[in-house]
Structure 1
């Protein structure tokens, strides 16, 4: 019965992660369609919508279940702050890149997050990294260099560097979510805290450099916020149901969604080096997934025999 429950949780985690990938790919489209606005301002409105949706869900839970849903468990505050800081780095880096490089490039660099999730899960939670996954992380990092294309042209390299750092931030954020799940912290509280924190970071810049927006731009950012909320709730639910080493490979479906959107909506075609980088990173993700799945199955067999 326990194994059946674990398989069910893993399946739910996979489905939630694919939903998250679709929502985040669509969010990037709306962010790009919103036009010539500061990436900080875009991030603010994206988080504002997500905050309102999370707040509505939280207050709905309070009415139904009482005040206990807003209690922050002991030890959770540190990881709520860490998740908020890391998630903000992830959003700012990703939004800065979306407006300046090919949509699929920004996505694949952001999708370095599952690899960094493994590393940070080891640091924060103590989830072990086997030799094969570690090799996959190293090779994937080398593959990302093909997309970043390091050069002495800082202006040209900055957007891809920002996208990469966004992936690092997202990886730390997801590992923090996993830790918060162990601490039994309510998922809506995690999203609410993160959205409020990221909005607060944006306020000083907004006061000094606010760009007036047209109705169309506001509408696009509202849609981006709705998609972001859908992505946040989905990814939070995914890592609540299953650990990163069982489901993170499915996060790469966002690359497929982004390439389709990028080609049909913006006429974007990644160059050869970027495509090679995609192949390397995805290949390592697949290898890591296959290895982890076989390793987990062999461990389950050993446990069953021992029992």
Structure 2
């Protein structure tokens, strides 16, 4: 996970360089996605995994939300300090926690106050981090960065859903980069077409394409083979890496208020992931007990009837 975080931080730096060199956000989305499309399709062919799926609707929702998250992340990186943008992009655990609170309310169950207080801490951290640092013309980019976290939360929910339906990871990634490639291509054509890259831009394009693919590989490996709680906590090292790189490469300013806001978001994100997982385990245990009780009742009823 730490290696994945390092690659994603390098990815952010390359995206920033490409935006400085005049490469648009839709172009970045296309280049990143198309490179992944070629790699993941080749891996699917090697492992004899077909593109056919019996869950097209779930793939479609996951892929569009995932592509939206990538696009929003690219835009926020291009218009904000790298560290700030990456922090906003990693707010998805807060939104997943909000989804959990919403489900509890819809089922008329008690509110998990620990989770709710954690979410409030996280969004206060967003306000603390942004309030002294961004100008009015950067507000939209900040909202888009939060939108990346929201889209990631929805996409993650559907990744888990597809995983439970035994969909291969490579097929899930394939449809994500396929939709990303199409969205990037169409968006680029509607916003003036492709820009002839400079030498620096070409290196940046190659850099973010390779780094995003490597980061995704190590991220998937960490979550599939490692401890989920530890992996979820370590993924926030991307904020440390990207902030340090932003300071040294682009001269981004960092003060104690920004650091305090980042720490609040990281801590709340880790706690939100933990409390959300506990809440889901509790719901699964309740459902299991209910099912066992129903089966016991049916057995007793059958015995009496006999």
Query: Which TM-score band (shorter chain)?
Result: 0.7 to 0.9
Q: For 1:105-144, what aligned pairs fall within 5 Å after superposition?
A: 105-120=84-99, 130-144=112-126
Q: For 1:114-193, what aligned pairs fall within 5 Å after superposition?
A: 114-120=93-99, 130-149=112-131, 155-193=137-175
Residues 51 and 235 from structure 1, CA distance in 2 versus in 1: closer, same or farther, beyond 3 angstroms?
same
Distance between the aligned counterparts of 1:20 and 1:218, measured in 2? 23
Distance between the aligned counterparts of 1:119 and 1:20, measured in 2? 26
SS at match of 1:99: helix
Residue 110 of structure 1: how far off its partner (Å): 0.6
Residues 114 and 230 from structure 1, CA distance in 2 versus in 1: closer, same or farther, beyond 3 angstroms?
farther
Q: For 1:31-46, what aligned pairs fall within 5 Å after superposition?
A: 31-34=15-18, 35-46=21-32
Write the deviation string for residues 235-268 of structure 1: whole angstroms up to 9, x where unpaired: 3344445796664222211111111211222221
How does the TM-score come out when normalised to structure 2? 0.77
Q: Which has the larger radius of gyration?
A: 2
The Cα RMSD (Å) is 3.4
Residues 19 and 90 from structure 1, CA distance in 2 versus in 1: closer, same or farther, beyond 3 angstroms?
same
Gap runs ≥5 in structure 2? 104-108, 283-306
Distance between the aligned counterparts of 2:99 and 2:228, measured in 1? 11
Given that residues 32 and 99 in structure 1 are in contact (C-alpha distance below 8 angstroms), is that contact kept between their aligned partners in structure 2? yes
- Alignment-derived partner of residue 101 in structure 1: 80
Distance between the aligned counterparts of 1:217 and 1:197, measured in 2? 24
Residue 272 of structure 1: how far off its partner (Å): 4.3
Residue 269 of structure 1: how far off its partner (Å): 2.3
| Count of residues paired in the alignment | 275
- Alignment-derived partner of residue 45 in structure 2: 59
Residues 199 and 264 from structure 1, CA distance in 2 versus in 1: closer, same or farther, beyond 3 angstroms?
same
- Alignment-derived partner of residue 301 in structure 1: none
Residue 229 of structure 1: how far off its partner (Å): 1.2
Given that residues 97 and 272 in structure 2 are in contact (C-alpha distance below 8 angstroms), is that contact kept between their aligned partners in structure 1? no
Gap runs ≥5 in structure 1? 1-16, 63-67, 299-307
Residues 167 and 274 from structure 1, CA distance in 2 versus in 1: closer, same or farther, beyond 3 angstroms?
same
Distance between the aligned counterparts of 1:118 and 1:247, measured in 2? 18
SS at match of 2:79: coil
Distance between the aligned counterparts of 1:158 and 1:20, measured in 2? 28
How does the TM-score come out when normalised to structure 1? 0.77
- Alignment-derived partner of residue 84 in structure 1: 63
Residues 273 and 52 from structure 1, CA distance in 2 versus in 1: closer, same or farther, beyond 3 angstroms?
same
Residues 183 and 237 from structure 1, CA distance in 2 versus in 1: closer, same or farther, beyond 3 angstroms?
farther
- Alignment-derived partner of residue 299 in structure 2: none
Distance between the aligned counterparts of 1:121 and 1:38, measured in 2? 36
Distance between the aligned counterparts of 2:241 and 2:260, measured in 1? 18
Distance between the aligned counterparts of 2:113 and 2:165, measured in 1? 28
* Of 252, 255, 275, the match for 2:236: 252
* Of 178, 198, 222, the match for 1:196: 178
